[in-house]
Structure 1
Amino acid sequence: MVDLVAQLTHRRKGHTLEAPFYTDPAIFKADMEVIFGRHWLFVGVEPDVPEPGDVMVVDVGTNSIAILRDDDGEIRAFHNVCRHRGARLVHEEKSTVGNLVCRYHSWVYDTTGQLIHAEHMGEGFDKSCHGLKPVHIRSLEGLLFICLAENPPQDFEELSRVMSPYLKPHNLRETKVAYQHDLIEPGNWKLTMENNRECYHCGANHPELTVPLFAYGFGFSPEELSDEERVHAENYACMLNDNHEGWEAMGLPSREVDRLDDMVTGFRTERLPLAGDGESHTMDTKRACKKLMGDMTNAKAGALHFWTQPNSWHHFMGDHAVVFSVLPIDAEHSLLRTKWLVHKDAREGIDYDLQNLIGVWMATNQQDSDLVGYCQDGVRSVGYVPGPYSPHTEMLVEKFTNWYVGRMLAHLAETRAVA
């Protein structure tokens, strides 16, 4: 059995984790209890349940969560478990219901989770004591987060305070899910997140993604630049500042906020310019959808990046948004769920071509999945030792790992204090 406290305490700063953190089922179990059982998790968007009675099911480890819009339009979340004998209530990922009816013994719950019908339970049976068990849920301008803990982290309010002005102009509540893609990645969830938190690998592995991106937007080593490259880097820095000033004058908050490893609900955001025509994450860098999102009036609004610990990243452009969630399956496999959002009135084939909309990230996701698999293969080997992060291009990977270690140690300290 791995000594988790010792491994975490002696983790070498600026380096990857020891192999068991990516392979050991016992550590995976601890991850599910501490990280995915006690923190705010991104699981979907309000347009996943656009109308009263719409239900979406999300599985977090062994926990199945039903997220639904009730008859009054409020979004609620419940454990997807009948209060009678524990049968799963909703079996499809997406469905529409009048009430929630258990297939086993036909117990019936309304859309607020209250038990409204249960035959043959006797005169003393109190239906009001057997409603569905609620799960904490919050909407951040249309992004849905749940927390399985009895007492969720209180700093979601700070996240909301900072991020709402950045997200509001895109008005996700007035969008629809144009496409969803689920990809099983052959690696531990932390490898998926580490891969996302850097673009050191992008130039050699992402020919589609790098078309709309500027090379100097994701870190570089100043001492390695030629005179010409240094001029390009300085020009990029000036362009970034000019764009931030211009976007903020348009009412689009844009400047970097980085709270990745100094908050329980860690996050980071910044709006970055796009190359070429500068409109969208497409192969020709032009908008993918004719109808712009929300209050956007200019397609050349760059791409707003938003990352949350422990399991999400997002890109919001003038014409569409792409949101990503990572849900662990076991110690060596993870589900990457990607959704593409467009204006709710946009028409496929008229306002947008689906393949053009999803093409860049469909290719990029598969490329990243392959890279994660290469890492998973490597950490299984006796030849693996923790390697150093680049201080110039992998500083945000270090922040993710530092956040993870800190949250695990904090929980273990609380556990020892209680004992």
Structure 2
Amino acid sequence: MNAPTPVTHTAELVARRSVGQSLEAPFYVSDEFFDLDIEAVFARSWLFVATEAELPEPGDYVTVTVGPYSVILVRDDDEEVRAFHNVCRHRGARILNEERGSVGNIVCGYHHWTYGVDGRLRYAESQAPDFDRSCFGLRSVHARTVTGLVFICLAERPPADFDEVARRVEPYIAPHNLPHAKVAKQIDLVERGNWKLTMENNRECYHCAGHPELQRCYFPLYNFTAANVPPALLPTYERFLKADADARASYEALGLPYAPIEELDDRPTGFRIQREPLDLAGESFTEDGTAAVKPLLADFPTARLGHLGLHLQPNAWFHFAADHAVTFSVIPLASDRTLVRTTWLVHADAEEGVDYDLDALTRVWAVTNEQDATFVARAHQGISSPAYVPGPYSPSESQVEDFVNWYITRLRAHLERRGRQRRGRQR
């Protein structure tokens, strides 16, 4: 396995990154880069961490772990989703130790300091007469909901462009009625590879021949054009062009925005969104392309609306069909382990076994995730070999380059800030 790269070499590796090529091995395998990724990327970016459907009632909570941070997401008594550091203000004990649950108050199990779901300290036994409870509420974490999707940012000053991104994607997502959906299933999969390999794998379809179930309903043409589509995919491409023309006519008749917006590389909150057709019946991510759920998520007059795809840097992607939505959240666990959390959302009134079959609903993406986990593990194993050298991205992998360049830009900015702070302390 590659020897860990000393911290003193980190900035040099970042500075010499070659455009259009995969990263050098230490970026993926060294603990130093894992720590830097948490500090420079995950502690400074807006992260997708949950759906509102996971917090249906006041007091419902979910805990999220990002590197050394543990965060509580909780719905307060005013129905708002709030986020707090999972650290007691007494002596720092971890407060909530379960992944999810429901509380009346948030109570530390060590000395029983008690907080409301608004984060305010309500009870602390045996304190001095001048003790001011108002000074010891839970420390807040920035939290935002965007049409049913919950985001947090651990930085003191979050990226300022998130409001603009939310404003631009909301008209695309809003028709899918996510704030009134429910969770049909959630699967946590730990991939045996670096988080960047997980994201790179998602950002291209060069490998999609390895997803036979997905290819039945999903046009495997991601980032291919008429100029570079492989000969074996030409019949699929011709079928796509016809389906795309039909889909655009439907979108325009229904007033659904569909045009791609792609700003993955040149802003702190990189994103891409587009509505496009699905293959076969064109309705959903199922083996025959037919809708898996009745009723539909929203008041659509037809299920044949393809899907809305959204990518967000650094840790999420989404697929919204007429009948259900699927969200994917990526959280680094270690330099060689990554959590991929997949959540299927359906109409709040849909009843399992009556309105949908859970296996039919989840099978395509569950199988695809397992296949991707194998690809990511193989990539990490290969990169861990001393024989590994960076290789070139193909034209169809341009969004991999966008992701990697976005990532390198974040690291450079962080290292520059750290250098300025160090120089300031030395004066």
Q: TM-score range by the shorter chain?
A: over 0.9
Contact 1:41–1:147 (CA<8 Å) still a contact in 2? yes
Q: Quickly say closer, same or farther: Cα 1:94–1:240, change in 2 above 3 A.
A: same
Aligned length: 416
Contact 2:205–2:220 (CA<8 Å) still a contact in 1? no
TM-score, normalization by structure 2: 0.94
Mapping 1:99-110, distance limit 5 Å: 99-110=105-116
CA–CA distance in structure 1, aligned partners of residues 84 and 101 of structure 2: 15
Corresponding letter in the other structure for 1:403: W
Mapping 1:17-416, distance limit 5 Å: 17-203=23-209, 205-219=210-224, 222=227, 226=231, 233=237, 236-237=240-241, 239-391=243-395, 393-416=396-419
CA–CA distance in structure 1, aligned partners of residues 98 and 155 of structure 2: 25
CA–CA distance in structure 1, aligned partners of residues 142 and 278 of structure 2: 37
CA–CA distance in structure 1, aligned partners of residues 261 and 228 of structure 2: 26
Q: Quickly say closer, same or farther: Cα 1:209–1:233, change in 2 above 3 A.
A: closer
Deviation at 1:24, TM superposition (A): 0.6
CA RMSD of aligned residues (A): 1.6
Deviation at 1:239, TM superposition (A): 3.9
CA–CA distance in structure 2, aligned partners of residues 275 and 232 of structure 1: 9
Contact 1:244–1:255 (CA<8 Å) still a contact in 2? no
Unaligned ranges ≥5, structure 2: 1-5
CA–CA distance in structure 1, aligned partners of residues 299 and 229 of structure 2: 42
CA–CA distance in structure 2, aligned partners of residues 94 and 224 of structure 1: 45
CA–CA distance in structure 2, aligned partners of residues 246 and 337 of structure 1: 32
CA–CA distance in structure 2, aligned partners of residues 343 and 285 of structure 1: 19
Mapping 1:2-13, distance limit 5 Å: 2=7, 3-13=9-19
Identity over aligned residues, as a percent? 49
Contact 1:222–1:230 (CA<8 Å) still a contact in 2? no
- Deviation digits for residues 349-376 of structure 1 (CA, Å, limit 9, x no counterpart): 0001111111011100010001000001
Contact 1:69–1:76 (CA<8 Å) still a contact in 2? yes
Deviation at 1:86, TM superposition (A): 1.2
CA–CA distance in structure 2, aligned partners of residues 184 and 332 of structure 1: 10
Contact 2:182–2:347 (CA<8 Å) still a contact in 1? yes
CA–CA distance in structure 2, aligned partners of residues 52 and 219 of structure 1: 46
Contact 1:174–1:294 (CA<8 Å) still a contact in 2? no
CA–CA distance in structure 1, aligned partners of residues 47 and 108 of structure 2: 27
Q: Quickly say closer, same or farther: Cα 1:210–1:13, change in 2 above 3 A.
A: same
CA–CA distance in structure 2, aligned partners of residues 146 and 411 of structure 1: 19
CA–CA distance in structure 1, aligned partners of residues 254 and 229 of structure 2: 37
Q: Quickly say closer, same or farther: Cα 1:229–1:80, change in 2 above 3 A.
A: closer
CA–CA distance in structure 2, aligned partners of residues 307 and 122 of structure 1: 51
Contact 1:314–1:322 (CA<8 Å) still a contact in 2? yes
CA–CA distance in structure 2, aligned partners of residues 218 and 194 of structure 1: 13
Q: Quickly say closer, same or farther: Cα 1:362–1:109, change in 2 above 3 A.
A: same
Corresponding letter in the other structure for 2:259: R
Corresponding letter in the other structure for 2:300: M
Unaligned ranges ≥5, structure 1: none
User: Which secondary structure state, in structure 1, belongs to the residue aligned with residue 57 of structure 2?
Assistant: coil
Deviation at 1:223, TM superposition (A): 5.6
Deviation at 1:230, TM superposition (A): 5.2
Deviation at 1:158, TM superposition (A): 1.1
Is the deviation greater in 341-350 or in 233-242?
233-242
Contact 2:219–2:236 (CA<8 Å) still a contact in 1? no
Corresponding letter in the other structure for 1:177: V
CA–CA distance in structure 1, aligned partners of residues 199 and 150 of structure 2: 19
Corresponding letter in the other structure for 1:261: D
Deviation at 1:283, TM superposition (A): 0.9
Contact 2:240–2:279 (CA<8 Å) still a contact in 1? no
Corresponding letter in the other structure for 2:377: G
CA–CA distance in structure 2, aligned partners of residues 34 and 266 of structure 1: 15
